[in-house]
Each structure stands twice: as C-alpha cells, then as structure tokens.
Structure 1
Amino acid sequence: MTKSIRNIPLRLFRDYLTYKGLRVIRTKGGHEVWSRKNLPRPIVLQTHIDPIPPFIIKSNLRTLGVDVNDFYDFVKNH
C-alpha cells in the first residue's frame, strides 16, 4: 500500500540522502547540490524551504529510483 507524502523536515531529508550514499558536492546561495556516481542528474535542495513539500520529495525520489514505501520505512525508523 502506497502512503501519501506529507511535508518532511529538511534535516530528515538530508539524513535520508546521506543514508542513500549521496553527498553534498556544492552549495551556492540557498541551494545544496547532492549527488553520487550512478545518478542520472544531481538532486538540488533549496535550503530556505523547510519543511520540504510533497512535490519536491516525489521528484527527488524518482531521481533516486526509490519507492515511496522505502522512504517511509526510513522515516518511521529514524
């Protein structure tokens, strides 16, 4: 069963990206760029948007190739 996505604190999403093996490759202005070797494109987080809205979370999960349920398992156990 797929869960609906809600706003997630920026700190928690950063922890999830680190858990998935990503790291910050650069910061410019209010943006952090996260990446790892096998991603098709980097993930960009706007640091001034906290909590992160669902549409940004969904887009980033698609880029990671991660299922929403995997993400919620992390959130539940974190």
Structure 2
Amino acid sequence: MADFKLDKQRNKEALERIREFFLEETGTRLSDFKAQFYLDFMLEEIGEFVYEQALADCHALMTDKIEDLFLLEYKKKR
C-alpha cells in the first residue's frame, strides 16, 4: 500500500488521542516523537486493513443504493 499520510490537523488530533490513551492506560506521558512513532507504526501496519474494510463497507452501501434505484425503475415500469 502507498504511504498513508494524514493532513496536519488529523495528525495532530491522532497524536493527542494516542497520548491520552497511553497516559490513561499506562500512566506514561509520550513525547511528540514517541507518539508520532506509534502513529506511523499503526498507519503502516494496520492502515491497510482499515482502508480495505472501509472500501468493502462503502461497496456494500453503494450496492444497496443501486439496487434501490433499480427497484424504483422496475416499479415505475409496472
């Protein structure tokens, strides 16, 4: 998978959430560098799974909506 980068605002929010998680769960305060390291690791290692699931969910939703359109067309012809 190609490099997955967050825009600056989303990256900042993700880092804040990672810091909060580590502080609440382990009592550890993470530096900016360490939080970014964990975020980069997660995006690299599990980002692909999240991306693929999002595509599958979107595909299922779009398929349902297209089927609804065909049903409308079918009802109109009757």
- Confirm or deny a common fold (TM above 0.5): no
Structure with the bigger percentage of strand: 1
Q: In terms of Rg, which structure is larger?
A: 2
Q: Which has the higher contact order (CA 8 A, sep 6+)?
A: 1
